[in-house]
C-alpha cells in the first residue's frame, strides 16, 4: 500500500481528462451517426460536437490544451496515412493524362482564388496560402465517396477521382513547402529556410530506407510493427517541425510519402487506420471548438466569397477540363466530388493565420469549408 499510495492521487487527478475524452468520443459517434442519417458526412457531426463544448456556447467547456494535443496527433496520423496511400510511380503508369490535368487545375484554381483573396484585401502571401488551400480537395472525403454504399459513380469515375485528388496532394505539398520557404514561416527565411527544407528532405530520405527495413523485420510481431509504424510518423513529423521549421502536417505527409514504395507500406497503413480514425475525430472536434458563432454574421461576406471561389475556381474548372479531356469519367460527378476542401486546406489556413497575415475573423474562418463539404456530400449522390 505504501508503494502505490503516491501514485493514486496522480491517477485520480487524470480522471476528469479521461472522462472528458470518453464523453467527447461518445458525442462524436452520436453526432456522426445523426449527420449521416441526414445525408451529410460524419465530419459535420464532429464539428458540431466541438462547437457544443466550445467556450463560445453555453454549457460545458472542454479542456482546450487536451483537445489541441489530441488534434495534433490526429492530423499527423491522418496525413501520414494519406502519404502512405499515395503511390506516385503507380500514378505515373496508370494515369498519365491526370499528370497534366490535376496540376493544371491546381494552378488555375490557385491563381483565380489568390486573385479573389487579393481583391478582398488580403496580403499577397496570405492570399497565396488561402488560394492554395482552396485549390486542394480532401483525399479522405474522396475515398469516402468512392467507398460509399449510396454512391452513384461508376468504376472509371472513382478511379479518376482518386487519382486527381492524390495528384492534388502531391502538387499542393510541394507548393506549400516552397511557400513556407518564401514567406519564412516559423521565423526562418532566406537561406535558413532553404537549408531547413533540404535537411528535412534528407531526413525523409533516410527514413525511407530505415523504416521499411525495420518494419520488414518486425512483420510477424504485430504489436512491435504497430508501435514502429506510429512512432515513425510522429518522429519524422515532430523532428521536421521542431528542428527544421516544416509545418507539422506537411512533415507528416512527407513522412508517409517516404515509405509508400516499400513492400510493408500497405500493411503499415492498414494497422494505422483505427488510430487514424480515432485521433482524426478529435482533430475535427477541436476545429469545431474554435468556431465562434457570434462572429459568423460578420464573416458571411468571406464565407460566400470562399464558396464562390470553390464553385467557380474549382468545380467549374474541373468540369470543363473533364469534358475536354474525355477521361471516360462522368464530368459533373468528378467536378462535384472534387468541389470541397480538406485537411490540407485547414493546415494552410492555419499557417496563414499563424504567420500573422490579414485574414477573415480568426474564430469564424474555420467554419467556411463546412458549406462545400456538406453540399458536396448531398449533391454527389444525386448527380449523374
Q: What is the DSSP string of 54-110?
A: STTSSS----HHHHHHHHHHHHHHHHHHHHHH--HHHHHHH-TTHHHHHHHHHHHHH
Q: What is the DSSP letter of 245?
A: -
What domains, with CATH codes, occur in the chain?
34-144+159-380 (1.20.1530.20)
| Residue written as grid cell 470543363 | 320
Reading the block at residue 336, the C-alpha cell is: 462535384
Alpha-carbon distance values, 273 to 30, 74, 82, 85, 104 (Å): 20, 11, 10, 11, 31
What pLDDT sits at residue 295?
Answer: 77
Check pLDDT > 80 for residue 158: yes
Long-range Cβ contacts of 62-65 (<8 Å, 24+ apart): 62/20, 62/24, 62/285, 62/289, 63/17, 63/20, 64/289
- Under 8 Å between Cβ of 219 and 264: yes
Q: pLDDT value at position 105?
A: 93
Least confident window among 105-114, 142-151, 264-273: 142-151
Coil, helix or strand at residue 303? helix
> Among residues 254, 104, 94, 108, which one has the least CA distance to residue 163?
94
Q: What is the structure's pLDDT at 166?
A: 80
Over range 41-57, report the average pLDDT.
86
In this prediction, residue 190 carries a pLDDT of 63
**Neighbouring C-beta atoms of residue 76, cutoff 10 Å:** 28
Q: Please choose, from the candidates 158, 163, 164, the residue with its C-alpha nearest in 3D space to the C-alpha of residue 146.
A: 158
**Mean pLDDT value across the chain:** 79
**Cell 472513382 -> residue:** 158
**Which pLDDT score, from 0 to 100, does residue 384 have?**
39
Read off the pLDDT of residues 20-40 as tens digits, 9 standing for 90 and up: 889 999 999 999 999 888 877
Q: Which residues contact 39 (CB under 8 A, 6 or more apart)?
A: 377, 378, 381
Check pLDDT > 70 for residue 169.
yes
Q: Judge whether residue 10 has pLDDT over 70.
A: no
H-only helix segments in 87-189:
88-94, 98-119, 124-135, 139-147, 155-183
* Mean pLDDT to the nearest integer, 360-384: 49
> Once rounded to an integer, what is the mean pLDDT over residues 123-127?
82
pLDDT category of residue 95 using cuts at 50, 70 and 90: low
Is pLDDT above 60 for 212?
A: yes
Rounded to an integer, what distance in angstroms lies between the CA atom of residue 244 and that of residue 187?
11
Tens digits of per-residue pLDDT, 69-83? 888 888 888 888 888
At residue 383, the pLDDT reads 43
Nearest to 79 by CA among 203, 267, 214, 248: 248
Q: Three cell numbers at 31?
A: 453526432
Tell me the percentage of the chain whose pLDDT exceeds 70.
81
| Percent of the chain predicted with pLDDT > 90 | 9
Residue range 113-128: average pLDDT?
Answer: 86
pLDDT tens string 187-208: 566 677 778 888 888 888 898 8
**104 falls in which pLDDT band (50, 70, 90)?**
very high
The answer to whether 372 and 378 have CB atoms below 8 angstroms apart is: no
**pLDDT at res. 271:** 85
| Sign for the pseudo-dihedral over CA of 322, 323, 325, 328 | positive
What do you get for the CA distance between the two ends of the chain, in Å? 69
The SS3 assignment for 206 reads helix
Amino acid at each position: 500500500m505504501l508503494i502505490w499510495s503516491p501514485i493514486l492521487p496522480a491517477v485520480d487527478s487524470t480522471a476528469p481528462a479521461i472522462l472528458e475524452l470518453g464523453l467527447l468520443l461518445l458525442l462524436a459517434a452520436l453526432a456522426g451517426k445523426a449527420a449521416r442519417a441526414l445525408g451529410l458526412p460524419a465530419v459535420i457531426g464532429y464539428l458540431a460536437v466541438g462547437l457544443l463544448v466550445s467556450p463560445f456556447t453555453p454549457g460545458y467547456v472542454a479542456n482546450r490544451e487536451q483537445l489541441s494535443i489530441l488534434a495534433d496527433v490526429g492530423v499527423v496520423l491522418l496525413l501520414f496515412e494519406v502519404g502512405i496511400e499515395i503511390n506516385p510511380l503507380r500514378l505515373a503508369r496508370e494515369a498519365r493524362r491526370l499528370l497534366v490535368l490535376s496540376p493544371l487545375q491546381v494552378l488555375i484554381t490557385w491563381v483565380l482564388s489568390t486573385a479573389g483573396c487579393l481583391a478582398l484585401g488580403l496580403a499577397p502571401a496570405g492570399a497565396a496560402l488561402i488560394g492554395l488551400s482552396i485549390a486542394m480537395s480532401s483525399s479522405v472525403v474522396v475515398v469516402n465517396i468512392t467507398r460509399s454504399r449510396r454512391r452513384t459513380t461508376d468504376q472509371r469515375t472513382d478511379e479518376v477521382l482518386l487519382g486527381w485528388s492524390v495528384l492534388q496532394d502531391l502538387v499542393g505539398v510541394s507548393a506549400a513547402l516552397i511557400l513556407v520557404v518564401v514567406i519564412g514561416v516559423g521565423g526562418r527565411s532566406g537561406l535558413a529556410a532553404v537549408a531547413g527544407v533540404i535537411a528535412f528532405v534528407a531526413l525523409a530520405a533516410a527514413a525511407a530506407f530505415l523504416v521499411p527495413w525495420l518494419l520488414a523485420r518486425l512483420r510477424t510481431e504485430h504489436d512491435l510493427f504497430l508501435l514502429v509504424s506510429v512512432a515513425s510518423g510522429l518522429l519524422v513529423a515532430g523532428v521536421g517541425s521542431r528542428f527544421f521549421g516544416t509545418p507539422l502536417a506537411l512533415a507528416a505527409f512527407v513522412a508517409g510519402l517516404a515509405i509508400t514504395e516499400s513492400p510493408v507500406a500497405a500493411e503499415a497503413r492498414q494497422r494505422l487506420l483505427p488510430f487514424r480514425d480515432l485521433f482524426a475525430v478529435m482533430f475535427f472536434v477541436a476545429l469545431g471548438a474554435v468556431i465562434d458563432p457570434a462572429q459568423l454574421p460578420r464573416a458571411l461576406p468571406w464565407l460566400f466569397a470562399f464558396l464562390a471561389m470553390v464553385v467557380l475556381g474549382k468545380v467549374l474548372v474541373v468540369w470543363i477540363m473533364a469534358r475536354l479531356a474525355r477521361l471516360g469519367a462522368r464530368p459533373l460527378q468528378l467536378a462535384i466530388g472534387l468541389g470541397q476542401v480538406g485537411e490540407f486546406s485547414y493546415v494552410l489556413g492555419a499557417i496563414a493565420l499563424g504567420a500573422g497575415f490579414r485574414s477573415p475573423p480568426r474564430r469564424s474562418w474555420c467554419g467556411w469549408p463546412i458549406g462545400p463539404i456538406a453540399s458536396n456530400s448531398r449533391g454527389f449522390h444525386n448527380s449523374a
